[in-house]
Amino acid sequence: MLSYVYVVLAALLWSFNPAVIQRFGRGLGAITITVFRAAAALILLAPLAILKNAQNFLNTHAILLAVASAVIGPAIGDAAYAKAIQLAGGSLAVIVSYTYMFVAQAFATLLGEVIGIATGVGSALAFLGIVIALSGKDFGKAKLRGILYAAIASISWGIGSAIIKPVTALADPLVIAVIRLATVLTTLLPIAIAFERKGLENGHWNLAIVSITTGALGWGIGMYLFLYSIALIGVSKTVLATALTPVLSQLIIRLITKDKVRLRNIAGAILVATGIAISAHQPA
C-alpha cells in the first residue's frame, strides 16, 4: 500500500504542471521548457545519486533501456505535452494525453506483465473520472494540432513507461531517473538552442518558475517516486494511480483562480479514487 502513497505524491506534484505551463510558459518554446525542467531536476537528483552510490549498480543493458525510455517518454512525450497545453488548453490536452495509461498497460502486457480484472476496471473508471472532471466549454476552442500533440504525448509516455519496468530490476530508480533526465537534457538542448533561442532570451523569469515547479519538484522528486512505484507494483497499477494528476490539477486551478469547484470535478475525483482503490485490492 505504501507504493501507492509514492505514486499519489508524484501525481500531486505533477498536478501543478498544466497550470504553471499554461500561465508562465507563454512565449516559451515547448522544447526549451522541457530542457530546463530536466536541468532543474538533474541538479536536484544527481548529487543524491552520487551520495547513494546508486551508479555502482548499473550495467550496459540498464543504461540503454533507460536512455531509450527517456528519449521516447520525457523527451518526446513531455515536449509534445507542453505544446498540446499551449495549443489546445489544459483540459483537453490532459484528457487526450492521459490515454497513455492504456498504451502503457498494453505494452506492459507485451513485456510479460499480467493485468488483472481489477486493474482493468479501475483504469476504465479512472479515465472516465478524468473525462468527467475536465469536460467543459473550453473544448470548442481546441485546435486540431493541439490534439495531435496530445496524442503523441500519450503514445510516447505509454511506451516510455512500459519499457522502464525491466530497468528497475537492473538499477536503482534514483540513478534511472538521473540517466533519463541527462538524456532529455543532452538530446533536446541543441534543438532548443537552434530553433527556440528567441523565446529563451526573452523569458528568464517565467522559465525559472516553470523549471523549479515542474522540473525540480515534478520531474525531480516526482519522477523518482514514479519509477520507484513501478519497481514495486508494476507499470499498470502505477500509471492508473497517475490518473489523479489531471483531476487534482483541475481542482488546483479552480482554487488558485477562486473559481467555483463544480460537481463534475468532485464526481471525477471520486471515480478516479475508486478506480485506484479497486486496483489496490488486487494482489501485485
**Would the pLDDT of 137 be above 70?**
no
Bigger pLDDT: 30 vs 281: 30
C-alpha cell at 275: 478506480
Q: What is the pLDDT of residues 64-101, one digit of tens each?
A: 999 999 999 988 998 898 888 878 776 778 788 888 99
Bigger pLDDT: 82 vs 265: 82
Secondary structure, 3-state, 203-232:
CHHHHHHHHHHHHHHHHHHHHHHHHHHHHH
Q: What pLDDT band is residue 282 in, cutting at 50, 70 and 90?
A: low
Mean pLDDT throughout 146-166?
92
Percent of the chain with pLDDT over 90: 27
Q: By mean pLDDT, which of 70-84, 219-233, 262-276 is the weakest?
A: 262-276
pLDDT given at position 139: 54
Q: 89 — phi, psi (to 5°)?
A: 90, 160
Percent of the chain with pLDDT over 70: 88
Q: What pLDDT band is residue 259 in, cutting at 50, 70 and 90?
A: low
**Would the pLDDT of 161 be above 80?**
yes
Q: What is the pLDDT of residues 112-131, one digit of tens each?
A: 888 888 888 888 888 888 88
Provide the residue count of the chain. 284
Domain span at 67: 2-280
- Looking up cell 534511472 gives 176
pLDDT given at position 238: 92
pLDDT given at position 258: 67
**Would the pLDDT of 140 be above 60?**
no
Averaged pLDDT of the chain = 83
- Quote the number of domains for the chain: 1
> Taking the CB of residue 2, how many other CB atoms lie within 10 A of it?
8
28, 207 Cβ separation under 8 angstroms: yes
Bigger pLDDT: 265 vs 178: 178
C-alpha cell at 207: 522559465
Taking phi over 0 as left and psi of -120 to 50 as alpha, with beta for the rest, 89 belongs to: left
pLDDT given at position 271: 85
pTM of the entire predicted model: 0.83
pLDDT given at position 268: 81
Bigger pLDDT: 188 vs 24: 188
- Looking up cell 492508473 gives 240
Which of 19-22's residues contact partners 24+ apart within 8 Å by CB, and which partners? 19/90, 19/249, 19/252, 19/253, 19/256, 20/209, 20/210, 20/213, 20/214, 21/82, 21/85, 21/86, 21/210, 21/214, 22/85, 22/86, 22/89, 22/90
pLDDT given at position 225: 94
Q: By mean pLDDT, which of 45-54, 100-109, 134-143 is the weakest?
A: 134-143
pLDDT given at position 269: 79
Q: What is the pLDDT of residues 202-222, one digit of tens each?
A: 557 788 888 888 899 988 999
**Would the pLDDT of 42 be above 90?**
yes
Bigger pLDDT: 29 vs 148: 148
